[in-house]
Amino acid sequence: MIKLKHLILVTLLFASGISYAQLKDPIVDAIVKEATENSQLEKLAHELVDQIGPRLVGSPKMQQANDWAVATYTAWNIPARNEKWGEWRGWERGISHIDMIAPWVKSLEGMQLAWSPSTGGKTVTADVIIVPDVADSLAFQSWLPNAKGKFVLISMHQPTGRPDYNWDEFGTKESVERMKAARTAQTDAWNNRIKKTGYTSRTLPVALEKAGAIGIVMSNWSRGFGVNKIFGANTKKIPTIDVALEDYGLLYRLAESGKQPKISVRADSKEKGVVPTYNTVAEIKGSNSNEYVMLSAHFDSWDGGTGATDNATGTLVMMEAMRILKKIYPNPKRTILVGHWGSEEQGLNGSRAFVEDHPEIVANLQALFNQDNGTGRVVNITGQGFLHSYDFITRWLAKVPEDYKKGLETRFPGTPGGGGSDFASFVAAGAPGFSLSSLNWSYGTYTWHTNRDTYDKIVFDDVRNNAILTAILVYMACEDPEKTSRERSVLPVNTRTGEQNKWPEQRKATRKGGLD
């Protein structure tokens, strides 16, 4: 029963246009004060991004990051542990050095792909040729012996290295249309060229390797100035290297005109055998230790850059939020957990394994908040298909000061995410997991999985904003006397198939990866 003085207070507040939720909360005020006056974000970013660097699953850097996180949490008096969930092919990146030595000399911008075989501590020199445009797969088989002892270019030569926004700003309408039409035709022709070999972009390098090629050269342009996406190699014995767009174009044009370019490549790497893979989990015990609120971010990255915005920034948000909560809210009602997941980039493997291994946590999860897509401030939260998500998320957001939810949009009940990041592992199991989706900052083009995903791209004001938002949401979810509803909304009919959409299925983690 509400006491009379409280009832009078609420009545007066509503009469004056102020809601009860907007009452000053000393915990919220203290969270904001700690985050703004004693931020540890720059220090953490320097340690993780600069000192440790990229965190490819199975690499020594990933293990170093796991151990660093445990040590950091321990220093904050937050119990933490590394939980083994699987095994992966161990690999350590070394030096990549690529030079054109004919018809003239130039050092090229490029690097070996993840898990690329090394050149054995030597520099390998050979002519460069282009995968040919043949009539069919039989003709390609006849051509294959020509690849022996050569570096083979397997990517399309891009007609322009200017991103479309640059064309749209400065080009004439006719010029832009002409470029785009030519590029579309060239792309179609190149795709057809690869198709006629009888292989795909994934299997072609293996066929060339078997034919005796000395290395594979590609360029996975990300449609921005000076930026390529860097993924993994498919070869087992010869190096696969990615060369930046214009340097790749130089090699391609010279080879196409018969000038016989020659390159020297040194690609050092070490195979580390089969290594264990971990999630790092930290905990602030609650008075109701059988109910949980979780913070979530994947810890691993591709290693073309240093994984700064994918996903060091999400990691920093969750670590800083945990640090603040431990200091300001050390005795929560529900237990607070944070999961730093491994091998998200290969299919949400760390979080899927956690969901499989901890059904007791998943069954008693009040909410999970995940942040992944870049350095920008959070601007979107959806209900992930949970019918009553509006009730509790809106209630929690009401405590967040307006300065820290500027531009934030919500959509309820939304549709359940089937992938994309680790919240989806929990949603598939029927647990309320939510994505804190960020402002773009040209993420898809310039930093997502690229060679430019580095410390300088971090926008610390936005990351700080997200740490405050996350800490308050976790605090509110812990304090909420009501348990969140898991009732699912009726999903709409798929207009393409005419069938009702289904809730995403829970998928098993790949527990042993990179070994085939």
Averaged pLDDT for residues 140-144: 98
Contact (Cβ atoms closer than 8 angstroms) between residue 278 and residue 7: no
pLDDT at 64 over 80: yes
pLDDT confidence band for 7 (50 / 70 / 90): very low
Which contacts (CB < 8 Å, 24+ apart) does range 140-145 have? 140/196, 140/197, 140/198, 140/199, 141/198, 144/207, 144/208, 144/211, 145/211, 145/212
Domain boundaries, the chain: 21-79+285-479, 94-270
This prediction's pTM: 0.94
> Position 62: which residue type?
M
Decide if 369 contacts 436 (C-beta within 8 A): yes
Residues 118 and 268: beta-carbon distance below 8 Å = yes
Contacts of 105 (CB under 8 A, 6+ apart): 99
Tokens of 361: 């946590």
pLDDT tens sequence across 278-332 = 999 999 999 998 999 999 999 999 999 999 999 999 999 999 999 999 999 999 9
Assigned token pair, 131: 């995968």
pLDDT tens sequence across 317-352: 999 999 999 999 999 999 999 999 999 999 999 999
Residue 270 has pLDDT above 80, yes or no: yes
Contact indicator for 146, 272 with CB cutoff of 8 Å: no
> What's the chain's length in residues?
516
Q: Domain 94-270 carries which CATH code? A: 3.50.30.30
Q: How far is CA 398 from CA 41, 293, 386, 437, 464, in A?
A: 25, 18, 19, 18, 19
Q: What average pLDDT does the segment 4-23 reach?
A: 44
Please give the helix or strand (H or E) that residue 5 lies within, else none: helix 4-15
The secondary element (H helix, E strand) that includes residue 413 is none
Query: Which residue bears the tokens 């915005």?
Result: 309
Average the pLDDT over 418-422 and give the result. 95
DSSP 8-state assignment for residue 103: S
Q: Which amino acid is at 61?
A: K
Instruction: Write the burial class of residue 155 (CB in 10 Å: 0-12 exposed, 13-18 middle, 19+ buried).
Output: buried
In the predicted model, what is the mean pLDDT of the chain? 95
Rounded distance, CA 379 to CA 294, Å?
Answer: 20
Q: What is the CB-side half-sphere exposure of residue 319 using CA atoms within 13 A?
A: 32
pLDDT of 33 over the 50 cut: yes
pLDDT digits (tens, 9 = 90+) for 145-186: 999 999 999 999 999 999 999 999 999 999 999 999 999 999
Q: Residue 15 above 70 pLDDT? A: no
Under a CB-based contact definition with an 8 Å cutoff, are residues 306 and 50 in contact? yes
In tens, the pLDDT along 474-512 reads 999 999 999 999 999 999 998 888 899 999 999 999 999
For residue range 48-61, what is the model confidence (pLDDT) as tens digits? 999 999 999 999 99
Beta strands 437-438 and 378-382: pairing type? antiparallel
Q: What is the DSSP letter of 174?
A: H
For residue 22, the model assigns a pLDDT of 53
Q: Is 516's pLDDT higher than 80?
A: no
**pLDDT classification of 20: cutoffs 50, 70, 90:** very low
- Judge whether 465 and 458 are in contact, CB under 8 Å: no
In this structure, what DSSP letter does residue 377 have? P
pLDDT tens profile 189-198: 999 999 999 9
Closest by Cα among 363, 352, 365 to 277: 352
pLDDT band, very low/low/confident/very high, at 10 (cuts 50, 70, 90)? very low
The answer to whether the beta carbons of residues 99 and 106 sit under 8 Å apart is: yes
Q: Report which of 116, 146, 147, 260 is spatially closest to residue 214, judged by C-alpha positions.
A: 147
User: Sorting pLDDT into bands at 50, 70 and 90, what band is 275?
Assistant: very high
21-79+285-479: CATH topology is Aminopeptidase (3.40.630)
Collapsed DSSP state (helix, strand, coil) of residue 190: helix
Q: Using CA of residue 57, residue 506, residue 371, residue 284, what is the dihedral sign?
A: negative
